[in-house]
Amino acid sequence: MTKKEYPRIGETVFYETLENGLRVAIVKKPGFRKKMAFLSAAFGSADIRFTYKGEKYEMPAGTAHFLEHKMFERESGEDALAILSKRGATANAFTSTDMTAFHFDCTKHFYENLETLIDFVMHPAFTDESIEKEKPIIAQEIVMGEDDPDNALYYNLLRCLFRRHPIRDAVVGTVKSIENITAEKLMLCHEAFYVPGNMQLVLCGDLDEREAIKKVTELMTAPRGFAPERAYPKESEKPVKEEKTAVMDVAAPIFLAGAKTEPGLTGSRAIRHELTAALSLSILMGEASPLYSRLYSEGVINETFGYDFESANGVSFISFGGETDESDRVISDVMREAKILSENGLDRDFFERRKRSVIGDELRGLSSFDSICYNVACAMSEGYDYFDLVPVLSGITEKEVRDFLAKYVTPGRFAVSTVRGREDE
């Protein structure tokens, strides 16, 4: 077991990799009554094409999410969520493009709940009959998502940016695609991806690290296994389509502009790229930036305006948007401001203030068990140390920010998704 202390942020973490390959992190929280367990598999909605035991497979869109729904079933007929709830635990699960995670928090019966968690995740008990019963439930979830303007805005942007990468498809799949999901396909995906060598377990709370590792070793007895070879299509630097507009019931027009950034980064390079993006976007268009202040004071944007950076499955992209009648102007002003900053340089005091602000944003996440567990699990899966983010961010230079803006925030790299109201037709 490896102990790492992070005095700048007041955290102590114990790391261990079990003989079967499961990566475990124990985040110590002395004095806290609440404890949390977060078990994740590096298997998400984008993992639909893979090679396993020499055979190539292509799964229907939405398979990982469908499997997540069915994992709580027990052979006894009782739902695992109900079992955890009876012991006072709050449990849930989610699927993203590159991860499926199951978690709970509680103040009592922690190791009993951990045993239940590991048992139902590692030993699924769904049947053909239960799969068919689940399809209309998930279909309803899909239809509701399709009627959501924010959901349409986001996925239309991804379909403009990416030609074939499965990140462009909704995590839940489509009503048509889930009809092709069977118990046999779900079991194959579980056998292939839900193996200790492709999983992470994060425990957070006032725990004895030796006792915790002993318990986990006793409970996680599955053989190592190796994740299948995944296949993601290569994408061009520029978007495949410049814009897409949807007409829906919205109070005001909304837009989301996005551009692809550096693909294929892993480990320390990936986290530095992400933090450079966060700092660059904060300087360019954060609430304290001159650009934001000007556009807001003129009524061009409002409090819905924001920006983001995302990376998964070998691709990454930045985006910004919100409600406005003047999306073309906002995009033009963002490009112009990025050019000025990249060519003329940054105000030193403002640069340092923004850096401290972004560090503060990251540190605020350390007050949430959910945020800690999620980010530590992601970091372990991607091969970097989440708690190194403060020194990494502190070391980002003005040149890195200027280079980021010059390379990625430029005309020609961006696609635009817009949702207009029906009355604007």
The first and second tokens of residue 163, run together, are: 């030609």
Angle at 286 between CA 339 and CA 360, to 5 degrees: 125
pLDDT tens digits, one per residue of 64-119: 999 999 999 988 878 999 999 999 999 999 999 999 999 999 999 999 999 999 99
Give CA separation, 347 vs 46, 139, 282, 294, in Å.
Answer: 41, 52, 14, 17
Q: Indicate the SS3 state at residue 279.
A: helix
**What angle, 0 to 180 degrees and rounded to 10, lies between the N-to-C axes of helices 398-408 and 327-344?**
140
Torsion angle (degrees, nearest 10) of CA 24, 28, 4, 368 = 80
d(CA 84, CA 64): 23
Residue 33: is its pLDDT beyond 80? yes
Residues 6+ apart with CB under 8 A from 210: 1
Q: What pLDDT does 74 receive? A: 87
pLDDT at 78: 84
Summarize pLDDT for 2-24 with one digit per residue, the tens: 999 998 888 999 999 999 999 99
pLDDT digits (tens, 9 = 90+) for 374-409: 999 999 998 899 999 889 999 999 999 999 999 999
* Helical axes 63-70 vs 128-146, angle rounded to 10°: 120
**Which of 378-390 are b and which e, b meaning 16 or more Cβ less than 10 Å from the residue's Cβ?**
bbbbbebbbbbbb
Contact, 355 vs 279, CB < 8 A? yes
pLDDT in tens, 144-189: 998 999 999 999 999 999 999 999 999 999 999 999 999 999 999 9
Sign of the torsion formed by the C-alpha atoms of 395, 397, 400 and 406: positive
Active site residues: 68
Q: What percent of the chain has pLDDT over 90?
A: 88
Maximum CA pair distance of the chain? 67
Q: In the chain, what are the domains?
A: 2-230 (3.30.830.10), 243-424 (3.30.830.10)
pLDDT at 425 over 60: no
Give residue 225's pLDDT: 83
Q: Considering the entire predicted model, what is its pTM?
A: 0.93
CB 9 within 8 A of CB 21: no
What distance lies between CA 164 and its chain's CA centroid?
A: 20
Q: Which long-range contacts (CB under 8 A, 24 or more apart) does 228-231 make?
A: 228/50, 228/51, 228/52, 228/57, 228/192, 228/193, 229/50, 229/51, 229/52, 230/47, 230/49, 230/50, 230/313, 231/49, 231/50, 231/51
pLDDT band with cut points at 50, 70 and 90 for residue 220: very high
Tokens at 221, concatenated:
């007895």
pLDDT band at residue 424 under the 50/70/90 scheme: low
| pLDDT band for position 417 (cuts 50, 70, 90) | very high
